[in-house]
């Protein structure tokens, strides 16, 4: 049983390492280099954040998740 635990721990560490390097996970959809409607949405979120609008109000107006808005805010 000890071997299975060690193997699981090794896999977990390897996945975390790959994740930290950006090899695992989805791409960011809303960012400064976005194109098309994603760029329009990103720019609108940035504009509303600069106007100190509430995150929930931005979420309702633009239609993207609050977590995404917090991520955009953190990247500014």
- Indicate if the alpha-carbon torsion angle 37, 25, 55, 57 is positive or negative: positive
Is residue 42 within 8 Å of 72, Cβ to Cβ? yes
Does the global pTM surpass 0.85? no
Mind giving me the DSSP string for 9-32?
A: HHHHHHHHHHHHTT-SSPPPSSST
Residue ranges per domain, the chain? Answer: 2-75
**Residue 72's pLDDT band (cuts 50, 70, 90):** very high
**What pLDDT score was predicted for residue 30?**
83
Question: What is the CATH T-level fold of the domain 2-75, as seen in this structure?
Answer: Arc Repressor Mutant, subunit A (1.10.10)
**What pLDDT score was predicted for residue 13?**
73
Mean pLDDT for 10-23 is 65
**Residue 1's pLDDT band (cuts 50, 70, 90):** very low
**What pLDDT score was predicted for residue 62?**
96
């Amino acid at each position: 049983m000890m071997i299975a635990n060690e193997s699981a721990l090794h896999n977990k560490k390897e996945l975390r390492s790959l994740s930290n390097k950006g090899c695992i996970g989805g791409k960011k959809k809303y960012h400064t280099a976005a194109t098309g409607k994603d760029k329009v949405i990103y720019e609108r979120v940035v504009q509303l954040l600069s106007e100190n609008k509430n995150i929930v109000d931005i979420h309702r107006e633009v239609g993207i998740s609050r977590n995404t808005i917090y991520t955009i805010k953190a990247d500014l």
